[in-house]
Structure 1
Amino acid sequence: MSNYGGPEELSPGEVDEPAPRPGWVTVDLRASALNWHDVLVRRGRYRSPLPHTPGADGAGIRTDTGQEVVVLPSLFWGERSTAPSPEFEILGDRIPGTYAQRVCVPEECLAPKPFGYSWAESAALPLVGVTSYRALVTRAGLRAGESLLIIGAGGGIATMALALATALGAQAFVTASSPEKLARARDNGAAGGVLHSDDDWPMQAKALAPEGDGFDVILEPVGLWERSVQALRPGGRIVVLGANVAERADMDVRGFYFGQYSLLGTTMGSPQDFRGLLDLVATGTVAPPAIAATYPLSDAAEAHRRLESGGLFGKIVLVP
């Protein structure tokens, strides 16, 4: 990527091998997964140095030991588990990322490839997996028997959150933009859902909750807090991790505090969260990430066009 802009700015090219650094490891990549974050990097949101190699997610083989690994894209988290350090960044922001044949990352950002996962599924796991795990487990404390509403079925975060909720023993519901996505979500374990194209979708969703008075937890990756909170039960928790649809919310403050609600902000997780995620995956109860499409690395531009076109259920993966 030599300039910021549209998908056409992603073109194949030759770059130098990653330079050796103490405490860092080079990985021969077998697959790399797309995230909406990559689109923002391409557009210049994070002012990445140019020319630049984007990409946060990947899986491959350590060049020093030959071990099959997945890459945690959460860099320089720091010692405090409650929030990242000022040095925190995402792989592919300023450090060359995974749209490549090789990537070099701190050793703490590597973990064994999950047993039974393909290369594509392994590459698609880290960013959405650790982000969903931190949101649902570390921040919201979702427990077996509780109810969860996921806003926006189909994207990588939503499909991963559905898999984690199912593994945790929670009952998950979704909102979606089409009947087809609702059907896919049900096939993947959702107990039900509503179309968020309907004006009264929060009330429709609330009525679906097991007790009919709203959900214990709502996962909000799009920025519609003022609508989503209407589907919470009294004392419920809403965990916010994105702003793809809206970057500002106009909240009913009085209704919020009388409802005894908790509003929890979250981001990508830490190495500790990643270990928790992989421990849960190792139990065999977490379905692998859904793969919507696979492209050769040389077709990264076309893969971005597909991502931006919407309508996906699952992740897009690049194969070097």
Structure 2
Amino acid sequence: MRAMIHAGAEGIKGLQYTKQADRDPQKGEVKIRLKTAGLNHRDLFLMNSRGHGEVPFIPGSDGAGMIEAIGEGVTNGTIGDEVIINPCLGWEYMNQVPVVPGILGGPTDGTLAESVIIPQQNALRKPSYLSWEEAGVLSLAPLTAYRALFTRGNLKPGEHVLIPGIGGGVATFAALMASAIGAEVSVTSRSEEKLKSVQQMPITQAFDSHSNWKERLGSGSIDLILDSIGPATFHQYFDVIKPNGRIVMFGASSGDEITIPARAIFFPQITIAGTSMGSGEEYKSMLEFMTQHSIHPIMDSTYDLKDTVSAYERMERSGQLGNIAILIPQD
């Protein structure tokens, strides 16, 4: 089968479009003939941490397609079913958090290929209202956003959520989901182009990340902050968060080391929580939520599988607003 593999060098330089040996599903597994796949920043982090001597693997966590083969004992799905892939492996229940969640596309082979083999419970029926391009990007990012907003962030209708660094898949999905339940949504970005583009989204306001947040939002106006940036913006959160507010962290694009002002936490009784990906239980709830509210992913661009390097280069430049889809050859 044709696939994009990573081997022999760090980062995007290690990507190669090649042919790989095909295999059959084993007990409890299904083989998906992919139509589309989606890119995530996690892919870049993995590739940037690999170098010479690493075992080659196929990146990609998101994907959608049709079941083309089933292994022994499979009871969930039949050949020809149109499915979407839950990329979190071995995590079924929201409160049983694994030490490190297993995720499709590193170290196991992922979705940037003509086919992928996954456990049967990770193949769920594709929502009929979504196109194949939309379904192909609808997994890791909205799952992360759903758990951050509702399981960990406990967001309620009428509350005000702040999402710094709008642009990537998780942030855009979070904005759409929060708006869908009647929450007020504010976002920030360093990019003037993105700030103009997000005006089409159902948000209250969008402003420059380098501006004075207290002047833009007002002191004590924010119930929930979704943080994927870390130290570059973290100190500003305490200027705008309400007493008893929540900060949910799911990324650290500006680094890992954060200075936390202790009194700004315990006097106003702020909660700081971490989250990453989500369970099979939450994945099903996320799909039901998306379908109920007819939420469509914000699509940035689409590339053929052979042009995946260009797609990752766009993501590495932080040039996208929304999700990048990869079309898998069907001939």
TM-score normalised per structure 2: 0.89
Distance in 1 (alpha carbons) for counterparts of 2:129 and 2:196 = 26
Structure 2 equivalent of residue 195 of structure 1? 208
Cα pair distance change 1:312/1:70, threshold 3 Å: same
Equivalent in 14, 21, 40 of residue 16 of structure 1: 21
Structure 2 equivalent of residue 269 of structure 1? 278
Distance in 2 (alpha carbons) for counterparts of 1:243 and 1:227 = 15
Give 1:17-166 correspondences, 5 Å limit.
17-44=22-49, 50-64=55-69, 65-77=79-91, 79=93, 81-86=94-99, 88-166=101-179
Cα pair distance change 1:247/1:45, threshold 3 Å: farther
Distance in 1 (alpha carbons) for counterparts of 2:37 and 2:305 = 8
> Do residues 280 (structure 1) and 294 (structure 2) align?
no
Q: For the Cα contact (< 8 Å) 2:8–2:52, is it kept in 1?
A: no
Cα pair distance change 1:111/1:196, threshold 3 Å: same
Structure 1 equivalent of residue 191 of structure 2? 178
Distance in 1 (alpha carbons) for counterparts of 2:259 and 2:294 = 36
RMSD: 1.9
Equivalent in 284, 291, 295 of residue 303 of structure 2: 295
Give the aligned length: 312
Distance in 1 (alpha carbons) for counterparts of 2:53 and 2:254 = 23
Cα offsets for 1:189-246 (capped at 9, x unmatched): 1110221023x2x313432xxxx63211111111133322332111111110001112
Cα pair distance change 1:87/1:312, threshold 3 Å: closer
Cα offsets for 1:86-133 (capped at 9, x unmatched): 463111111100110001111111111112211111111101110000
Equivalent in 231, 238, 244 of residue 240 of structure 2: 231
Equivalent in 291, 309, 315 of residue 323 of structure 2: 315
Cα pair distance change 1:49/1:18, threshold 3 Å: farther
Structure 1 equivalent of residue 75 of structure 2? none
> Do residues 215 (structure 1) and 222 (structure 2) align?
yes
Cα pair distance change 1:46/1:57, threshold 3 Å: farther
Q: For the Cα contact (< 8 Å) 1:49–1:94, is it kept in 2?
A: no
Q: How many Å apart are 1:83 and its aligned residue? A: 4.5
Structure 1 equivalent of residue 74 of structure 2? none
Cα offsets for 1:242-281 (capped at 9, x unmatched): 0111211101001211111110110001001101101111
Cα pair distance change 1:214/1:48, threshold 3 Å: farther
Distance in 2 (alpha carbons) for counterparts of 1:262 and 1:95 = 35
Q: For the Cα contact (< 8 Å) 1:193–1:205, is it kept in 2?
A: no
Gap runs ≥5 in structure 2: 1-5, 70-78
Q: How many Å apart are 1:168 and its aligned residue? A: 1.6
Q: For the Cα contact (< 8 Å) 1:48–1:93, is it kept in 2?
A: no
Aligned residues with identical type, % of pairs: 31
Residue type at the aligned position of 1:220:
D
Cα offsets for 1:158-204 (capped at 9, x unmatched): 11001111112211110111333223222111110221023x2x313
Residue type at the aligned position of 2:324:
I
TM-score normalised per structure 1: 0.92
Gap runs ≥5 in structure 1: none
- Secondary structure at the counterpart of residue 310 of structure 1: coil
Q: How many Å apart are 1:287 and its aligned residue? A: 2.5
Distance in 1 (alpha carbons) for counterparts of 2:285 and 2:196 = 30
Distance in 1 (alpha carbons) for counterparts of 2:179 and 2:139 = 18
Q: For the Cα contact (< 8 Å) 1:206–1:232, is it kept in 2?
A: no
Which region of structure 1 is more displaced relative to structure 2, 63-72 or 99-108? 63-72
- Secondary structure at the counterpart of residue 235 of structure 2: helix
Distance in 1 (alpha carbons) for counterparts of 2:295 and 2:115 = 27
Q: For the Cα contact (< 8 Å) 2:8–2:51, is it kept in 1?
A: no
Q: For the Cα contact (< 8 Å) 1:218–1:239, is it kept in 2?
A: yes
Residue type at the aligned position of 1:33:
G
